[in-house]
Structure 1
Amino acid sequence: MLKAFLEQDPVKVAEQILGYHLVRQTPLGRIRLRITETEAYKGSEDPASHSYRGLTPRNQLMFGDVGVVYVYFIYGMHFCMNIVSHREGEVGAILLRAAEVMEGYDIIRANRPKAAERDLINGPAKLTQALNINMGFNGYDLLQPTDELVLEKNNHNRSIIKTSRIGISKGQEFMWRFVLGKEQPNK
């Protein structure tokens, strides 16, 4: 079921994956996060995508099987985590930009001891630091998960805000950034 979900246009998945839980088992205990912000990146039509100019050793996972974690190192100091998502024969990934703590706050705080509360996991590098994700997770298959890292479907009753992507110089015109908004009343 997760595979079929990820075998869609990355823009659709980036919006619909909001609210899902990312669960990481560490030696210190379990961390559970609710995904609250994502961005979609596509192939040759997206100048901000790592896959824009074609296949390279760095981006090869974006061209492969869906459900695989694509981690990259940026600015010589940070890791960013993506989930490969695309239709068959296409290319794409979802950048996980931010999340809310559901479980494991003390572990996250230990991983990010100097972070202000409002900045705990409100950016892609902060999210990987909170989860202690590094290049060792590059290629990790979420469709064949171990207890170490699991993606779980979770419904939400919140609005979704759609904006242009941030932190890029090309492809800003695409409204491919999605943020989980305020909780909506039950109808």
Structure 2
Amino acid sequence: MRFTLSLVLLLLFLCQCSSNDSNLIPQSCKEASNSSPNVSYDICVSTLEANISKKNPPTKLKDLVGISIQITKTNGTNIIANILKLLNNQTFSQHTKACLKDCSRIYKGSISTLNDAIVAFKSKDFGTANIKLSAALDSSVTCEDQFKLNKGEVSPLTKENKVYFQLNAISLAFVHKFNH
């Protein structure tokens, strides 16, 4: 009887632990979206769930920080590749092409900044990680603003800039939890 009771308690504990692990992403995204107006709960959950390893799922918020920054870096790299394709478009004005070149430079710098954020976070320098992530977040805004300098100019990167901003906002909201 005593063994059975111990076994039942152990199974309940194990179920609770695995349940907590499966709630990590929704719970972390809920807290992030509640603490930041720039974080969409739905985007946070769907992005993280689509990009986690099923074999080695994250178990702590610090794991999600690394995953979210890596997702953002990959997205930034994809944006740079897209910019290179757009630069071959002959229908764009010289101003648009100049803006695209600036955006490429901005995103390359942003990826470097995200690498710095990872290093700072891993060394528990949360203040620096926060600053670096904020700078990376501003990259998408700066890119988008380039196009507004010429009236009537439309950014071909608006959608990409919004996604990159959102991904950075998620990482920033997660890191912010370590500053308190």
Q: Would you call these one fold, judging by a TM-score over 0.5? A: no
Question: TM-score w.r.t. structure 2 length?
Answer: 0.28
What is the TM-score with the length of structure 1 in the denominator?
0.27
